[in-house]
Structure 1
Amino acid sequence: MTMKRALSLALLTALAGACATTPSTPPGPPPPSPPMVSIFTVAHQDDWQLFMNPDAYHGMDEPQEKAVFIHVTAGDAGAGAGGDGPVPYYLAREEGALRAVRFMANAADSTIGKGVKMESAMVDRGGHGVQRYTYANAVVYFLRLPDGNIVNGKVYTPHPESLTRLRSGEAATSGTVEQSARYEGWQDLLDTLNDIVVAERVAGSGLKLHIAELDEELNPLDHPDHRAVAFAMEDVARRHPCSPIHRHLEYHTKTKPVNVTGTDYMIDVGTWAATASGLSDTYAKATWEPEHNAWIGRNYFRVTPPAGPCPSP
Protein backbone atom coordinates (compact mmCIF):
# COMPACT_ATOMS: atom_id res chain seq x y z
CA MET A 1 0.00 0.00 0.00
CA THR A 2 1.39 3.37 -0.99
CA MET A 3 1.79 6.12 1.55
CA LYS A 4 -0.78 8.21 -0.33
CA ARG A 5 -3.39 5.44 -0.27
CA ALA A 6 -2.74 4.72 3.39
CA LEU A 7 -3.31 8.37 4.28
CA SER A 8 -6.52 8.44 2.25
CA LEU A 9 -7.82 5.33 3.99
CA ALA A 10 -7.01 6.78 7.40
CA LEU A 11 -8.81 10.00 6.50
CA LEU A 12 -11.92 8.12 5.35
CA THR A 13 -11.92 6.09 8.55
CA ALA A 14 -11.69 9.25 10.66
CA LEU A 15 -14.51 10.90 8.72
CA ALA A 16 -16.71 7.85 9.08
CA GLY A 17 -16.14 7.86 12.81
CA ALA A 18 -16.94 11.55 13.03
CA CYS A 19 -20.18 11.09 11.09
CA ALA A 20 -21.37 8.16 13.17
CA THR A 21 -24.25 9.12 15.41
CA THR A 22 -23.63 8.53 19.07
CA PRO A 23 -26.85 7.35 20.75
CA SER A 24 -28.13 10.25 22.84
CA THR A 25 -29.05 9.67 26.45
CA PRO A 26 -32.64 10.74 27.11
CA PRO A 27 -32.95 13.40 29.79
CA GLY A 28 -33.71 11.99 33.19
CA PRO A 29 -36.58 13.07 35.39
CA PRO A 30 -36.20 16.44 37.10
CA PRO A 31 -34.77 16.30 40.60
CA PRO A 32 -37.37 16.06 43.35
CA SER A 33 -38.53 19.25 44.97
CA PRO A 34 -37.20 19.92 48.48
CA PRO A 35 -39.45 18.78 51.34
CA MET A 36 -41.98 21.57 51.76
CA VAL A 37 -45.18 22.49 53.58
CA SER A 38 -47.19 24.95 51.48
CA ILE A 39 -50.08 26.70 53.21
CA PHE A 40 -52.89 28.30 51.20
CA THR A 41 -55.11 30.49 53.38
CA VAL A 42 -58.26 31.88 51.80
CA ALA A 43 -61.63 33.30 52.72
CA HIS A 44 -63.92 31.05 50.67
CA GLN A 45 -63.98 27.45 49.54
CA ASP A 46 -63.25 28.24 45.89
CA ASP A 47 -60.61 30.96 46.21
CA TRP A 48 -57.42 28.91 45.96
CA GLN A 49 -58.72 26.99 42.92
CA LEU A 50 -59.38 30.23 41.03
CA PHE A 51 -56.47 32.37 42.19
CA MET A 52 -53.67 30.09 43.48
CA ASN A 53 -53.55 27.17 41.07
CA PRO A 54 -51.44 25.44 39.77
CA ASP A 55 -49.32 26.42 42.79
CA ALA A 56 -51.79 24.46 44.91
CA TYR A 57 -51.29 21.36 42.78
CA HIS A 58 -47.51 21.68 42.79
CA GLY A 59 -47.61 21.98 46.57
CA MET A 60 -48.77 18.35 46.81
CA ASP A 61 -47.77 16.53 43.61
CA GLU A 62 -44.67 14.91 45.13
CA PRO A 63 -44.65 12.64 48.20
CA GLN A 64 -42.20 14.79 50.19
CA GLU A 65 -44.58 17.77 49.98
CA LYS A 66 -47.65 18.69 51.99
CA ALA A 67 -50.29 21.22 51.01
CA VAL A 68 -52.51 22.75 53.68
CA PHE A 69 -55.71 24.55 52.68
CA ILE A 70 -57.27 26.85 55.29
CA HIS A 71 -60.76 28.20 54.54
CA VAL A 72 -61.59 30.89 57.07
CA THR A 73 -65.24 31.68 56.33
CA ALA A 74 -68.14 29.34 55.68
CA GLY A 75 -68.82 31.05 52.36
CA ASP A 76 -72.48 30.81 53.31
CA ALA A 77 -73.64 34.06 51.63
CA GLY A 78 -75.71 34.84 54.71
CA ALA A 79 -77.48 31.47 54.86
CA GLY A 80 -75.70 30.50 58.05
CA ALA A 81 -76.02 26.77 58.66
CA GLY A 82 -78.97 26.54 56.26
CA GLY A 83 -79.72 27.28 52.64
CA ASP A 84 -82.31 26.74 49.93
CA GLY A 85 -81.45 23.11 49.21
CA PRO A 86 -81.50 19.87 51.22
CA VAL A 87 -77.78 20.31 52.01
CA PRO A 88 -76.63 23.44 53.86
CA TYR A 89 -74.98 25.78 51.39
CA TYR A 90 -71.71 26.00 53.33
CA LEU A 91 -71.39 22.20 53.25
CA ALA A 92 -72.02 22.16 49.50
CA ARG A 93 -69.17 24.61 49.07
CA GLU A 94 -66.96 22.53 51.34
CA GLU A 95 -67.69 19.47 49.21
CA GLY A 96 -66.47 21.43 46.20
CA ALA A 97 -63.15 22.16 47.90
CA LEU A 98 -62.75 18.58 49.09
CA ARG A 99 -63.40 17.21 45.60
CA ALA A 100 -60.82 19.59 44.20
CA VAL A 101 -58.22 18.26 46.63
CA ARG A 102 -59.09 14.65 45.81
CA PHE A 103 -58.83 15.37 42.09
CA MET A 104 -55.37 16.91 42.47
CA ALA A 105 -54.11 14.07 44.68
CA ASN A 106 -55.22 11.45 42.16
CA ALA A 107 -53.89 13.47 39.22
CA ALA A 108 -50.49 13.64 40.93
CA ASP A 109 -50.37 9.85 41.36
CA SER A 110 -52.64 7.91 39.03
CA THR A 111 -51.07 4.52 39.80
CA ILE A 112 -53.90 3.67 42.18
CA GLY A 113 -57.29 5.22 42.87
CA LYS A 114 -57.38 6.62 46.37
CA GLY A 115 -61.15 6.52 46.76
CA VAL A 116 -63.49 9.12 48.14
CA LYS A 117 -62.92 8.64 51.86
CA MET A 118 -61.08 11.42 53.67
CA GLU A 119 -59.94 11.27 57.28
CA SER A 120 -62.09 13.74 59.21
CA ALA A 121 -61.78 15.10 62.74
CA MET A 122 -62.72 18.13 64.80
CA VAL A 123 -59.36 19.22 66.20
CA ASP A 124 -58.34 21.83 68.74
CA ARG A 125 -56.51 24.80 67.30
CA GLY A 126 -56.02 27.89 69.43
CA GLY A 127 -58.57 26.60 71.92
CA HIS A 128 -61.28 26.23 69.26
CA GLY A 129 -62.77 23.21 67.56
CA VAL A 130 -61.83 23.32 63.86
CA GLN A 131 -62.89 20.86 61.17
CA ARG A 132 -59.86 19.12 59.62
CA TYR A 133 -59.65 16.65 56.72
CA THR A 134 -56.66 14.76 55.35
CA TYR A 135 -56.23 13.00 52.02
CA ALA A 136 -52.92 11.72 50.65
CA ASN A 137 -50.46 14.55 51.39
CA ALA A 138 -53.09 17.28 51.64
CA VAL A 139 -54.74 18.79 54.72
CA VAL A 140 -57.93 20.84 54.65
CA TYR A 141 -59.30 23.12 57.38
CA PHE A 142 -62.69 24.82 57.59
CA LEU A 143 -63.06 27.50 60.28
CA ARG A 144 -66.65 28.37 59.20
CA LEU A 145 -66.81 31.98 60.32
CA PRO A 146 -69.67 33.93 58.70
CA ASP A 147 -69.40 35.11 55.11
CA GLY A 148 -68.87 38.86 54.98
CA ASN A 149 -71.98 39.39 52.87
CA ILE A 150 -75.61 38.48 53.37
CA VAL A 151 -76.79 37.97 49.81
CA ASN A 152 -80.39 38.60 48.77
CA GLY A 153 -80.52 38.50 45.00
CA LYS A 154 -78.25 41.34 43.92
CA VAL A 155 -78.39 43.07 47.31
CA TYR A 156 -75.32 42.54 49.51
CA THR A 157 -75.57 43.47 53.19
CA PRO A 158 -72.46 43.28 55.41
CA HIS A 159 -72.72 40.58 58.06
CA PRO A 160 -72.69 42.03 61.60
CA GLU A 161 -69.94 39.58 62.62
CA SER A 162 -67.90 39.71 59.41
CA LEU A 163 -64.13 39.36 59.40
CA THR A 164 -63.83 43.02 58.43
CA ARG A 165 -65.84 44.09 61.47
CA LEU A 166 -63.97 41.70 63.73
CA ARG A 167 -60.68 43.19 62.56
CA SER A 168 -61.85 46.80 63.04
CA GLY A 169 -63.34 46.06 66.46
CA GLU A 170 -66.89 46.89 65.36
CA ALA A 171 -67.68 43.26 66.19
CA ALA A 172 -66.26 42.17 69.54
CA THR A 173 -66.72 38.50 68.72
CA SER A 174 -67.62 36.28 65.78
CA GLY A 175 -69.20 32.84 65.96
CA THR A 176 -69.05 30.02 63.45
CA VAL A 177 -72.19 29.37 61.43
CA GLU A 178 -72.77 25.93 62.95
CA GLN A 179 -72.02 27.29 66.47
CA SER A 180 -68.97 25.12 67.10
CA ALA A 181 -66.76 28.03 68.18
CA ARG A 182 -66.74 31.73 68.99
CA TYR A 183 -63.69 33.92 68.41
CA GLU A 184 -63.19 36.56 71.08
CA GLY A 185 -61.72 39.34 68.99
CA TRP A 186 -59.32 39.61 66.07
CA GLN A 187 -56.28 38.47 68.05
CA ASP A 188 -58.05 35.23 68.91
CA LEU A 189 -58.45 34.48 65.20
CA LEU A 190 -54.80 35.37 64.49
CA ASP A 191 -53.61 33.04 67.22
CA THR A 192 -55.79 30.23 65.89
CA LEU A 193 -54.46 30.63 62.36
CA ASN A 194 -50.92 30.65 63.69
CA ASP A 195 -51.63 27.53 65.72
CA ILE A 196 -52.71 25.77 62.51
CA VAL A 197 -49.46 26.75 60.80
CA VAL A 198 -47.41 25.54 63.76
CA ALA A 199 -49.35 22.27 63.97
CA GLU A 200 -48.84 21.49 60.28
CA ARG A 201 -45.12 22.24 60.05
CA VAL A 202 -42.89 19.22 59.51
CA ALA A 203 -39.36 18.83 60.86
CA GLY A 204 -36.86 18.98 58.02
CA SER A 205 -39.33 20.60 55.62
CA GLY A 206 -39.48 24.19 54.44
CA LEU A 207 -42.51 26.43 54.71
CA LYS A 208 -44.32 28.54 52.10
CA LEU A 209 -47.30 30.83 52.71
CA HIS A 210 -49.77 31.70 49.94
CA ILE A 211 -52.14 34.62 50.58
CA ALA A 212 -54.03 37.34 48.72
CA GLU A 213 -52.25 40.49 47.56
CA LEU A 214 -53.13 43.54 49.68
CA ASP A 215 -51.61 46.20 47.41
CA GLU A 216 -54.72 47.73 45.84
CA GLU A 217 -52.76 49.09 42.89
CA LEU A 218 -51.82 45.53 41.98
CA ASN A 219 -55.02 43.83 43.15
CA PRO A 220 -57.89 46.35 43.05
CA LEU A 221 -61.51 45.75 44.05
CA ASP A 222 -60.92 42.50 45.90
CA HIS A 223 -63.55 40.98 48.21
CA PRO A 224 -63.48 42.33 51.80
CA ASP A 225 -63.20 38.78 53.14
CA HIS A 226 -60.18 38.13 50.91
CA ARG A 227 -58.48 41.22 52.27
CA ALA A 228 -59.32 40.47 55.89
CA VAL A 229 -57.82 36.99 55.62
CA ALA A 230 -54.71 38.43 53.95
CA PHE A 231 -54.30 40.97 56.77
CA ALA A 232 -54.55 38.11 59.26
CA MET A 233 -51.97 36.00 57.45
CA GLU A 234 -49.56 38.91 57.09
CA ASP A 235 -49.51 38.95 60.89
CA VAL A 236 -49.02 35.18 61.02
CA ALA A 237 -46.23 35.41 58.44
CA ARG A 238 -44.25 37.73 60.71
CA ARG A 239 -44.12 34.88 63.22
CA HIS A 240 -42.56 32.61 60.57
CA PRO A 241 -39.78 34.70 58.97
CA CYS A 242 -38.27 31.62 57.27
CA SER A 243 -41.23 31.42 54.91
CA PRO A 244 -41.38 33.11 51.52
CA ILE A 245 -44.76 34.78 51.01
CA HIS A 246 -46.58 34.31 47.72
CA ARG A 247 -49.07 37.16 47.34
CA HIS A 248 -51.65 36.33 44.67
CA LEU A 249 -53.81 38.68 42.63
CA GLU A 250 -57.44 37.61 42.86
CA TYR A 251 -60.52 39.21 41.27
CA HIS A 252 -58.30 41.38 39.08
CA THR A 253 -56.80 38.40 37.24
CA LYS A 254 -59.79 38.07 34.91
CA THR A 255 -58.61 41.30 33.25
CA LYS A 256 -55.21 39.75 32.50
CA PRO A 257 -54.07 37.33 29.77
CA VAL A 258 -54.10 33.58 30.31
CA ASN A 259 -50.65 32.63 31.63
CA VAL A 260 -51.22 29.01 32.66
CA THR A 261 -50.66 26.58 29.79
CA GLY A 262 -50.02 22.94 28.93
CA THR A 263 -50.43 20.33 31.65
CA ASP A 264 -50.84 23.03 34.28
CA TYR A 265 -53.82 24.41 32.37
CA MET A 266 -55.41 20.95 32.32
CA ILE A 267 -54.92 20.70 36.08
CA ASP A 268 -56.42 24.17 36.53
CA VAL A 269 -59.53 23.30 34.51
CA GLY A 270 -59.93 19.87 36.11
CA THR A 271 -59.62 21.25 39.62
CA TRP A 272 -62.26 23.86 38.92
CA ALA A 273 -64.59 21.32 37.30
CA ALA A 274 -64.29 19.10 40.38
CA THR A 275 -65.13 22.09 42.57
CA ALA A 276 -68.22 22.98 40.55
CA SER A 277 -69.47 19.39 40.56
CA GLY A 278 -69.28 19.33 44.35
CA LEU A 279 -71.81 22.15 44.50
CA SER A 280 -74.23 20.84 41.89
CA ASP A 281 -74.16 17.28 43.27
CA THR A 282 -75.24 18.67 46.65
CA TYR A 283 -78.07 20.72 45.10
CA ALA A 284 -76.33 24.10 45.14
CA LYS A 285 -75.98 26.29 42.07
CA ALA A 286 -72.93 25.18 40.11
CA THR A 287 -70.22 27.75 39.56
CA TRP A 288 -69.22 26.39 36.14
CA GLU A 289 -70.40 29.49 34.28
CA PRO A 290 -68.80 32.43 32.43
CA GLU A 291 -68.37 34.73 35.43
CA HIS A 292 -66.26 32.26 37.40
CA ASN A 293 -64.67 30.52 34.42
CA ALA A 294 -63.12 33.84 33.38
CA TRP A 295 -60.54 33.35 36.16
CA ILE A 296 -59.36 29.94 34.90
CA GLY A 297 -55.85 29.81 33.48
CA ARG A 298 -54.64 32.93 35.25
CA ASN A 299 -52.19 32.87 38.16
CA TYR A 300 -50.42 36.13 38.99
CA PHE A 301 -48.38 36.66 42.14
CA ARG A 302 -45.24 38.16 43.60
CA VAL A 303 -42.91 36.48 46.07
CA THR A 304 -41.23 38.02 49.10
CA PRO A 305 -38.15 36.00 50.13
CA PRO A 306 -37.63 34.75 53.68
CA ALA A 307 -36.62 37.36 56.23
CA GLY A 308 -34.84 35.07 58.67
CA PRO A 309 -34.89 31.70 60.42
CA CYS A 310 -37.86 30.05 62.12
CA PRO A 311 -37.89 28.12 65.37
CA SER A 312 -37.74 24.37 64.79
CA PRO A 313 -41.18 22.74 64.51
Structure 2
Amino acid sequence: MTGIVFHVSGHPDDVLLFRGSHLWNDLTWTGMKTVVVVTTAGDAGFENGWWQAREAGLVEACRVAGGGAAKPEVITVKGHTATHAVTRYLAPTWRCYFLRLPDGNLDGNGFPATKNQSLPKLRDGKISGIDSVASGGASLASQHYASWIEVVDTLHGILTAERQGSDTVHPWVNASDYDRKRDSGSHPDHYATGDALQTFVHADGYYRAWWLSYCTDGRPTNLSGAEYDHKRKLYYSYVEKVKQLYGGAPPCDFDGEWARWGKRCYWSEEKS
Protein backbone atom coordinates (compact mmCIF):
# COMPACT_ATOMS: atom_id res chain seq x y z
CA MET A 1 0.00 0.00 0.00
CA THR A 2 1.50 3.33 -1.01
CA GLY A 3 -1.31 5.88 -1.08
CA ILE A 4 -2.78 7.74 1.87
CA VAL A 5 -5.64 10.19 2.40
CA PHE A 6 -6.95 11.92 5.53
CA HIS A 7 -10.43 12.96 6.64
CA VAL A 8 -10.52 15.12 9.78
CA SER A 9 -13.91 15.75 11.36
CA GLY A 10 -15.19 17.80 14.29
CA HIS A 11 -17.92 15.27 15.14
CA PRO A 12 -18.39 11.59 14.26
CA ASP A 13 -21.00 12.20 11.57
CA ASP A 14 -19.55 15.30 9.87
CA VAL A 15 -17.45 13.43 7.35
CA LEU A 16 -20.44 11.21 6.52
CA LEU A 17 -22.90 14.05 6.00
CA PHE A 18 -20.62 16.51 4.22
CA ARG A 19 -17.93 14.38 2.53
CA GLY A 20 -19.37 10.86 2.53
CA SER A 21 -19.19 10.23 -1.22
CA HIS A 22 -15.46 10.96 -1.22
CA LEU A 23 -14.88 8.96 1.95
CA TRP A 24 -16.54 5.96 0.30
CA ASN A 25 -14.28 6.30 -2.75
CA ASP A 26 -11.19 6.45 -0.57
CA LEU A 27 -12.24 3.49 1.59
CA THR A 28 -12.84 1.33 -1.49
CA TRP A 29 -9.77 2.47 -3.45
CA THR A 30 -7.30 -0.39 -3.84
CA GLY A 31 -3.88 0.53 -2.48
CA MET A 32 -5.15 3.50 -0.47
CA LYS A 33 -4.86 3.89 3.29
CA THR A 34 -7.70 6.02 4.64
CA VAL A 35 -7.20 7.78 7.96
CA VAL A 36 -10.19 9.34 9.74
CA VAL A 37 -9.60 11.62 12.73
CA VAL A 38 -12.37 13.06 14.93
CA THR A 39 -11.56 15.84 17.36
CA THR A 40 -14.63 15.92 19.63
CA ALA A 41 -16.81 13.17 21.04
CA GLY A 42 -19.97 14.82 19.74
CA ASP A 43 -21.46 14.10 23.16
CA ALA A 44 -23.93 17.03 23.12
CA GLY A 45 -23.67 17.11 26.92
CA PHE A 46 -25.08 13.60 27.36
CA GLU A 47 -23.49 11.06 29.68
CA ASN A 48 -25.70 8.11 28.78
CA GLY A 49 -23.75 6.39 26.03
CA TRP A 50 -24.54 8.82 23.22
CA TRP A 51 -20.97 9.64 22.26
CA GLN A 52 -19.89 5.99 22.52
CA ALA A 53 -22.68 4.99 20.13
CA ARG A 54 -21.74 7.74 17.67
CA GLU A 55 -18.09 6.69 17.71
CA ALA A 56 -19.04 3.06 17.09
CA GLY A 57 -21.35 4.20 14.29
CA LEU A 58 -18.54 5.88 12.39
CA VAL A 59 -16.31 2.84 12.83
CA GLU A 60 -19.10 0.65 11.48
CA ALA A 61 -19.54 2.88 8.44
CA CYS A 62 -15.82 2.58 7.66
CA ARG A 63 -16.01 -1.18 8.08
CA VAL A 64 -18.95 -1.47 5.68
CA ALA A 65 -17.05 0.30 2.92
CA GLY A 66 -13.44 -0.56 3.73
CA GLY A 67 -13.82 -4.07 5.11
CA GLY A 68 -11.91 -5.56 8.00
CA ALA A 69 -12.98 -5.48 11.61
CA ALA A 70 -11.27 -3.04 13.95
CA LYS A 71 -11.11 -3.05 17.74
CA PRO A 72 -10.20 -0.02 19.83
CA GLU A 73 -6.70 0.39 21.17
CA VAL A 74 -5.19 3.22 23.17
CA ILE A 75 -1.99 4.60 21.70
CA THR A 76 0.27 7.46 22.74
CA VAL A 77 0.78 10.35 20.35
CA LYS A 78 3.86 12.49 20.85
CA GLY A 79 3.66 16.17 20.07
CA HIS A 80 6.26 18.88 20.49
CA THR A 81 4.78 19.91 23.82
CA ALA A 82 3.18 16.80 25.38
CA THR A 83 2.20 13.17 24.93
CA HIS A 84 -1.48 12.17 24.87
CA ALA A 85 -3.49 8.97 24.91
CA VAL A 86 -5.73 8.64 21.86
CA THR A 87 -8.14 5.86 20.94
CA ARG A 88 -7.53 4.27 17.55
CA TYR A 89 -9.46 1.63 15.60
CA LEU A 90 -7.06 -0.15 13.29
CA ALA A 91 -8.07 -2.12 10.18
CA PRO A 92 -5.88 -3.32 7.29
CA THR A 93 -6.68 -0.42 4.94
CA TRP A 94 -8.23 2.20 7.22
CA ARG A 95 -8.09 3.51 10.74
CA CYS A 96 -10.08 5.91 12.92
CA TYR A 97 -8.64 8.15 15.63
CA PHE A 98 -10.80 9.74 18.32
CA LEU A 99 -9.52 12.55 20.57
CA ARG A 100 -12.86 12.51 22.43
CA LEU A 101 -12.75 16.18 23.43
CA PRO A 102 -15.98 17.75 24.70
CA ASP A 103 -18.63 18.88 22.25
CA GLY A 104 -18.57 22.67 22.12
CA ASN A 105 -22.32 23.16 21.60
CA LEU A 106 -23.81 25.37 18.90
CA ASP A 107 -22.59 28.52 20.65
CA GLY A 108 -19.08 27.26 21.38
CA ASN A 109 -19.60 27.43 25.14
CA GLY A 110 -19.79 23.69 25.76
CA PHE A 111 -22.10 21.87 28.17
CA PRO A 112 -22.35 21.79 31.98
CA ALA A 113 -21.74 18.02 31.99
CA THR A 114 -18.23 18.63 30.66
CA LYS A 115 -17.56 21.78 32.71
CA ASN A 116 -18.40 23.99 29.73
CA GLN A 117 -15.11 23.11 28.11
CA SER A 118 -14.77 23.43 24.35
CA LEU A 119 -12.18 23.59 21.61
CA PRO A 120 -13.20 27.13 20.58
CA LYS A 121 -12.77 28.37 24.15
CA LEU A 122 -9.37 26.69 24.40
CA ARG A 123 -8.28 28.20 21.08
CA ASP A 124 -9.42 31.66 22.18
CA GLY A 125 -7.73 31.45 25.59
CA LYS A 126 -11.00 31.47 27.52
CA ILE A 127 -10.05 28.27 29.36
CA SER A 128 -6.62 27.02 30.35
CA GLY A 129 -7.15 23.35 29.51
CA ILE A 130 -9.57 20.71 28.30
CA ASP A 131 -10.20 17.08 29.29
CA SER A 132 -11.24 14.18 27.11
CA VAL A 133 -14.75 12.97 27.94
CA ALA A 134 -13.25 9.51 28.41
CA SER A 135 -11.40 10.77 31.49
CA GLY A 136 -14.69 11.00 33.38
CA GLY A 137 -14.05 14.62 34.26
CA ALA A 138 -10.72 13.90 35.94
CA SER A 139 -7.64 15.69 34.67
CA LEU A 140 -5.76 12.54 33.73
CA ALA A 141 -2.37 13.58 32.43
CA SER A 142 -2.62 11.72 29.14
CA GLN A 143 -6.17 12.92 28.42
CA HIS A 144 -5.77 16.51 29.57
CA TYR A 145 -4.72 19.12 27.05
CA ALA A 146 -3.13 22.07 28.83
CA SER A 147 -3.17 24.37 25.80
CA TRP A 148 -4.47 24.82 22.28
CA ILE A 149 -1.04 23.97 20.89
CA GLU A 150 -1.24 20.54 22.54
CA VAL A 151 -4.36 19.78 20.52
CA VAL A 152 -2.66 21.02 17.36
CA ASP A 153 0.45 18.97 18.16
CA THR A 154 -1.64 15.83 18.66
CA LEU A 155 -3.34 16.22 15.29
CA HIS A 156 0.02 16.97 13.72
CA GLY A 157 1.54 13.89 15.35
CA ILE A 158 -1.21 11.59 14.10
CA LEU A 159 -0.99 12.78 10.51
CA THR A 160 2.81 12.75 10.49
CA ALA A 161 3.02 9.22 11.89
CA GLU A 162 0.44 7.82 9.46
CA ARG A 163 2.12 9.51 6.52
CA GLN A 164 5.39 7.69 7.08
CA GLY A 165 6.10 5.07 4.41
CA SER A 166 3.58 6.47 1.91
CA ASP A 167 4.63 7.35 -1.63
CA THR A 168 2.03 10.12 -1.77
CA VAL A 169 3.99 13.36 -2.06
CA HIS A 170 1.06 15.64 -1.27
CA PRO A 171 -1.57 13.68 0.70
CA TRP A 172 -5.07 15.10 0.67
CA VAL A 173 -6.54 16.31 3.94
CA ASN A 174 -10.34 16.59 3.81
CA ALA A 175 -11.79 18.68 6.64
CA SER A 176 -14.32 21.29 7.72
CA ASP A 177 -13.64 24.66 6.13
CA TYR A 178 -11.88 27.15 8.40
CA ASP A 179 -13.09 30.07 6.26
CA ARG A 180 -16.06 31.72 7.96
CA LYS A 181 -17.15 33.45 4.76
CA ARG A 182 -17.13 30.34 2.59
CA ASP A 183 -18.73 28.17 5.28
CA SER A 184 -20.98 30.65 7.05
CA GLY A 185 -23.02 29.57 10.06
CA SER A 186 -21.08 26.39 10.72
CA HIS A 187 -20.61 24.71 14.11
CA PRO A 188 -17.86 26.26 16.29
CA ASP A 189 -16.23 22.82 16.57
CA HIS A 190 -16.03 22.65 12.78
CA TYR A 191 -14.17 25.94 12.64
CA ALA A 192 -11.86 24.99 15.52
CA THR A 193 -10.90 21.75 13.79
CA GLY A 194 -10.13 23.60 10.57
CA ASP A 195 -8.18 26.24 12.48
CA ALA A 196 -6.02 23.57 14.13
CA LEU A 197 -5.19 21.96 10.79
CA GLN A 198 -4.45 25.32 9.20
CA THR A 199 -1.45 25.76 11.48
CA PHE A 200 0.54 23.00 9.76
CA VAL A 201 -1.05 21.41 6.67
CA HIS A 202 0.24 23.98 4.21
CA ALA A 203 3.78 23.95 5.57
CA ASP A 204 3.83 20.13 5.58
CA GLY A 205 2.85 19.90 1.92
CA TYR A 206 -0.66 18.51 2.24
CA TYR A 207 -3.27 19.25 -0.40
CA ARG A 208 -6.45 20.46 1.26
CA ALA A 209 -10.12 19.86 0.45
CA TRP A 210 -12.20 22.04 2.77
CA TRP A 211 -15.79 20.86 2.86
CA LEU A 212 -18.76 23.15 3.49
CA SER A 213 -21.31 22.04 6.06
CA TYR A 214 -24.46 23.71 7.39
CA CYS A 215 -24.53 26.42 4.72
CA THR A 216 -25.11 23.86 1.96
CA ASP A 217 -28.69 23.33 3.13
CA GLY A 218 -30.83 24.81 0.40
CA ARG A 219 -28.13 24.80 -2.25
CA PRO A 220 -28.81 22.82 -5.44
CA THR A 221 -28.39 19.09 -5.01
CA ASN A 222 -25.26 17.85 -6.76
CA LEU A 223 -25.05 14.15 -5.89
CA SER A 224 -26.89 11.39 -7.70
CA GLY A 225 -26.41 7.84 -8.90
CA ALA A 226 -23.60 5.82 -7.36
CA GLU A 227 -22.14 8.83 -5.52
CA TYR A 228 -25.40 9.41 -3.71
CA ASP A 229 -26.04 5.70 -3.09
CA HIS A 230 -22.59 5.16 -1.59
CA LYS A 231 -22.85 8.20 0.65
CA ARG A 232 -26.27 7.07 1.83
CA LYS A 233 -25.00 3.56 2.60
CA LEU A 234 -22.19 5.00 4.71
CA TYR A 235 -24.46 7.36 6.62
CA TYR A 236 -27.20 4.84 7.33
CA SER A 237 -24.67 2.23 8.39
CA TYR A 238 -23.69 4.77 11.03
CA VAL A 239 -27.32 5.48 11.91
CA GLU A 240 -28.28 1.84 12.36
CA LYS A 241 -25.28 1.17 14.59
CA VAL A 242 -26.06 4.18 16.75
CA LYS A 243 -29.68 3.10 17.11
CA GLN A 244 -28.58 -0.43 18.00
CA LEU A 245 -26.25 0.73 20.77
CA TYR A 246 -28.00 3.78 22.18
CA GLY A 247 -30.52 2.99 24.86
CA GLY A 248 -32.99 5.84 24.41
CA ALA A 249 -34.54 7.94 21.69
CA PRO A 250 -31.68 9.56 19.76
CA PRO A 251 -31.41 13.31 20.49
CA CYS A 252 -31.22 14.14 16.79
CA ASP A 253 -33.30 13.66 13.66
CA PHE A 254 -31.21 11.37 11.47
CA ASP A 255 -33.60 11.46 8.53
CA GLY A 256 -34.01 15.21 8.81
CA GLU A 257 -30.27 15.75 8.68
CA TRP A 258 -30.01 13.46 5.68
CA ALA A 259 -32.78 15.40 3.93
CA ARG A 260 -30.80 18.62 4.42
CA TRP A 261 -27.36 17.42 3.34
CA GLY A 262 -27.53 13.93 1.87
CA LYS A 263 -27.67 14.96 -1.79
CA ARG A 264 -25.18 17.81 -1.40
CA CYS A 265 -21.40 17.99 -1.31
CA TYR A 266 -19.57 21.29 -1.70
CA TRP A 267 -15.93 22.05 -1.08
CA SER A 268 -12.95 24.14 -2.12
CA GLU A 269 -9.40 22.98 -2.81
CA GLU A 270 -6.01 24.41 -1.90
CA LYS A 271 -2.79 23.05 -3.36
CA SER A 272 -0.36 25.95 -3.07
TM range (shorter): 0.7 to 0.9
Q: Following superposition of structure 1 onto structure 2, how do residues 124-203 of structure 1 map, counting pairs within 5 Å?
A: 124-126=76-78, 127-149=83-105, 158-159=110-111, 160-179=116-135, 181-201=143-163, 202-203=165-166
Q: Return the alpha-carbon distance in structure 2 between the equivalents of residues 186 and 259 of structure 1.
A: 36
Q: Is the 8 A contact 2:27 2:93 kept in 1?
A: yes
Equivalent residue for 2:189? Answer: 225
How much has 1:218 moved relative to structure 2?
A: 2.0
Identical aligned residues as a percent: 26
Given the alignment of the two structures, is residue 42 of structure 1 paired with residue 6 of structure 2, yes or no? no
AA aligned to 1:188 is E
Q: TM-score, normalised by structure 2?
A: 0.87
Rounded to whole Å, the distance in 2 between the matches of 1:223 and 1:288 is: 17
TM-score if structure 1 supplies the norm length? 0.76
Which residue does the alignment assign to 2:243?
Answer: 280
* Per-residue deviation, 1:297: 1.9
CA distance in 2, matches of 1:47, 1:203: 26
Aligned partner of 1:67 in structure 2 is: 34
Superimposed CA distance per residue, residues 228-282 of structure 1 (whole angstroms, 9 cap, x where no aligned partner) = 00100111313412x2110111111122122112111110111111111111101
- Where 1:303 maps in the other structure, the secondary structure is strand
**How far 1:185 moved relative to its partner?**
0.3
Equivalent position to 1:299, from 265, 269, 272: 265
**What is the CA–CA distance in structure 2 between the aligned matches of 1:68 and 1:164, rounded to whole Å?**
24
1:238 and 2:202 matched: yes
Q: Tell me by how many angstroms 1:156 deviates.
A: 9.0
Q: 1:132 is aligned with what amino acid?
A: R
Q: 8 Å contact 2:102–2:110 — kept in the other structure?
A: no
Letter in 2 for 1:272: Y
Aligned partners of 2:159, 2:257: CA distance in 1, in Å? Answer: 33
Higher Cα Rg, which structure: 1
- In structure 2, list runs of 5 or more residues that go unmatched: none
Q: CA RMSD in A?
A: 2.0
CA shift in 2, pair 1:161/1:123, >3 Å: same
How many residues matched?
253
Distance 1:231 1:172 in 2: 18
Where 2:172 maps in the other structure, the secondary structure is: strand
| One-letter identity of the residue aligned with 1:173 | G
Q: Deviations over 1:133-184 (max 9, x none)?
A: 022311100100101029xxxx996343200010011111000011160001
Please say if residues 109 and 121 of structure 2, whose CA atoms lie closer than 8 Å, have aligned partners that are also in contact.
no
SS of the residue 2:198 aligns to = helix
**In 1, are the aligned partners of 2:123 and 2:148 still within 8 Å (CA)?**
yes
Is 1:214 the equivalent of 2:181? no
Pick aligned residue for 1:120 from 69, 72, 81: 72
Are the aligned partners of 1:193 and 1:236 in contact in 2 as well (CA < 8 Å)? Answer: no
Q: Secondary structure at the match of 1:178?
A: helix
